[in-house]
Amino acid sequence: MMKDTEALDILRAQGFAVGTPDVHTGRVRVWIHDSDEAVDVEAGRELHELAEGKLTFADIRTRREDEAVVWPD
C-alpha cells in the first residue's frame, strides 16, 4: 500500500505543485499544470489514485460537486 508521502512525491515528480496536507480537513491542495487552478484532494485513496493516474482532476471536481450541500430555506 502506498503512503500519502509517496503519492505526494509522485505528483511532484510529475511536475505538479503540491501543498501541505491539512490535518483538519484531511485534504491537500494540488495545482493543475499551466493554470492558476487547484483542486483539494482527499488524503488516502483519492490522493493515491490521482498519483497512479487512475483518477483525474475532472473526476475529483465531479465528486466535489456531488458533495455540495444545499441548505433548506
pLDDT tens track for 37-57: 899 999 999 999 999 999 999
Buried b (16+ CB within 10 A) or exposed e, 15-52: ebebeebeeeeebbebeeeeeeebbebbbeebbbbbbe
Do 39 and 28 touch, CB atoms closer than 8 A? Answer: no
Please name the residue that has the C-alpha cell 505526494.
8
E-strand ranges in the chain read 17-18, 27-31, 38-42
Q: Give pLDDT, residue 71.
A: 58
4-42, pLDDT tens digit by residue? 999 999 999 999 999 999 999 999 999 988 888 899 999
Q: List the grid coordinates of 53.
A: 493516474
